[in-house]
Amino acid sequence: MATHRSVFDAAELRAQFNDAGINPQFIPSIWKYVLQNPGCELDEIPDLPSSAYPLLCSKFKPLTSTVHSVLHSTDGVTAKLLIRLQNGAFVEAVIMTYDTRLGKYGGKPRPGGPRSTLCISSQVGCKMGCKFCATGTMGFKDNLRSGEIVEQLVHASRLSNIRNVVFMGMGEPLNNYTALVEAIRVMTGSPFQLSPKRITVSTVGIIHAINKLHSDLPGLNLAVSLHAPVQEVRCQIMPSARAFPLEKLMTALQAYQNNSQKKIFIEYIMLDGVNDEEQHAHQLGKLLETFQVVVNLIPFNPIGSFSQFRTSSEQKVSEFQKILRGTYNIRTTVRKQMGQDISGACGQLVVNLPDKRYGEKTGLITDIEDLRI
Please say if 346 is a catalytic residue.
yes
CA–CA dist 126, 135 (Å, integer): 6
| Three-state SS at 31 | helix
Compare residues 7 and 181 and give the one whose CB is closer to ligand SAH.
Answer: 181
| Closest C-alpha among 234, 231, 238, 211 to residue 222 | 211
Least distance CB 301 / ligand SAH (angstroms):
3
CA–CA dist 184, 201 (Å, integer): 10
Tell me whether strands 116-119 and 90-97 are parallel, antiparallel or unpaired.
antiparallel
**Residues 6 or more apart whose Cβ sits within 8 Å of residue 261:** none
Q: Give how far the C-alpha of residue 213 lies from the chain's centroid of Cα atoms, to the nearest Å.
A: 16
**Per-residue contact track with ligand SF4, 218 to 257, x per CB under 6 A?**
-------x--------------------------------
Kindly state whether residue 350 participates in binding ligand SF4, applying the rule CB under 6 A.
Answer: no
Return the bridge partners of 332, or none. 295
CB-based burial label for 338 (10 Å; 0-12, 13-18, 19+): middle
| Closest C-alpha among 86, 85, 25, 27 to residue 56 | 27
Least distance CB 238 / ligand SAH (angstroms):
9
**Per-residue contact track with ligand SAH, 130 to 149, x per CB under 6 A?**
--xx----------------
Beta-carbon neighbour count of residue 320 at 10 Å? 25
Part in contact with ligand SF4 (CB under 6 A); list of ranges 133-141, 181-189, 312-320, 332-340: 133-141
CB-based burial label for 218 (10 Å; 0-12, 13-18, 19+): exposed
| Closest C-alpha among 293, 288, 275 to residue 232 | 275
Compare residues 168 and 284 and give the one whose CB is closer to ligand SF4.
Answer: 168
Kindly state whether residue 136 participates in binding ligand SF4, applying the rule CB under 6 A.
Answer: yes
The correct pick among 298, 324, 342, 349 for binding ligand SAH (CB under 6 A) is: 298
Residue 154 phi, psi (nearest 5): -65, -50
**Per-residue contact track with ligand SAH, 307 to 346, x per CB under 6 A?**
------------------------------------xx-x
The correct pick among 67, 133, 266, 353 for binding ligand SF4 (CB under 6 A) is: 133
Compare residues 42 and 96 and give the one whose CB is closer to ligand SF4.
Answer: 96
Catalytic residue of the set 92, 148, 151, 182: 92
**Per-residue contact track with ligand SAH, 173 to 212, x per CB under 6 A?**
-----------------------------xxx--------
Catalytic residue of the set 119, 130, 133, 346: 346
Q: Are 94 and 118 in contact (CB under 8 A)?
A: yes
The correct pick among 7, 61, 94, 171 for binding ligand SF4 (CB under 6 A) is: 171
**Per-residue contact track with ligand SAH, 341 to 360, x per CB under 6 A?**
--xx-x--------------
Please say if 267 is a catalytic residue.
no
The correct pick among 151, 172, 182, 276 for binding ligand SF4 (CB under 6 A) is: 172
Kindly state whether residue 116 participates in binding ligand SF4, applying the rule CB under 6 A.
Answer: no
Kindly state whether residue 126 participates in binding ligand SF4, applying the rule CB under 6 A.
Answer: yes
What is the side-by-side strand order in the sheet with 293-299?
A: 66-72, 78-84, 90-97, 116-119, 162-167, 199-203, 221-225, 264-270, 293-299, 331-334
Residues that bind ligand SF4 (CB under 6 A): 126, 128-130, 133, 135-136, 171-172, 204, 225
| Active-site amino acid positions | 92, 346
